Amino acid sequence: MNRKGTVNKPEVSAKARGKGSALSIENRALECSRIVTRLLDLIDRHMASILKSELTISWADLQLVLLALEADADGRDVNIHLDGGDEIAAYVRRNLFDELVGEPSNIFYTVQVDAKTVRYEALPKDFWKECIARLREKLRELREKS
């Protein structure tokens, strides 16, 4: 859903419109950029929230959250990246991870199955991994600018 509460409807290729076919996102760069913007907004809101509690998240902790997202997308254990060290930092890492890891199930694409049927598809795992990689790049760019 976008900020107005409506489902985003990215373009899908003609082959994705057929019954039972896999979703193929035509403009991956544009869609990835849209999703990364959404993730950055979540991170900003999370950081504003923890600042109200007089907590912070370090650059290293943010990188651990990204590693945990990548591990989760690959089906690996995330706890190695989120737990350990300072308990408060681990708590902040875990909360940010929990907010971000749910995003693939909150982003839907419409696929026209036939003239009367539209199917909603969740974010494909390979595309989610692509978005995480782009998020890492964007965060690095933002850090270098500040």
> Is 9 inside a domain boundary?
no
> Is 81 inside a domain boundary?
yes
First to last CA, the chain: 30
> Is 28 inside a domain boundary?
yes
pLDDT surpassing 60 at residue 1: no
> Is 1 inside a domain boundary?
no
Residue-wise pLDDT tens digits, 64-80: 999 999 999 999 999 99
Using alpha carbons, list the distances in angstroms from residue 133 to 8, 9, 50, 67, 127: 21, 22, 24, 10, 10
Q: Mean pLDDT, to the nearest integer, of 22-37? A: 80
C-beta separation of 70 from 129 below 8 A? yes
pLDDT surpassing 50 at residue 131: yes
| pTM attached to this predicted model | 0.78
> Is 49 inside a domain boundary?
yes
> Is 18 inside a domain boundary?
no
Domain count within the chain: 1
- For residue 98 the two structure tokens come to 């929990």
Find the domain containing 52 and state its range: 24-139
Residue-wise pLDDT tens digits, 88-122: 999 999 999 999 999 988 887 777 788 888 888 88
> Is 2 inside a domain boundary?
no
Spatial separation of the C-alpha atoms in residues 89 and 55, rounded to whole Å? 9
Average the pLDDT over each of 20-24, 29-33, 40-44, 107-111 and give the range with the smallest value: 20-24
Task: Name which residue leads in pLDDT, 58 or 17.
Answer: 58
> Is 16 inside a domain boundary?
no
Quote helix, strand, coil % in the chain, to nearest 5.
Answer: 60, 10, 30
Confidence band of 26 (pLDDT split at 50, 70, 90) = low
Q: What is the largest CA-CA distance in the chain?
A: 56
Task: Name which residue leads in pLDDT, 8 or 124.
Answer: 124
Residue 102 amino acid letter: G
Spatial separation of the C-alpha atoms in residues 24 and 28, rounded to whole Å? 9
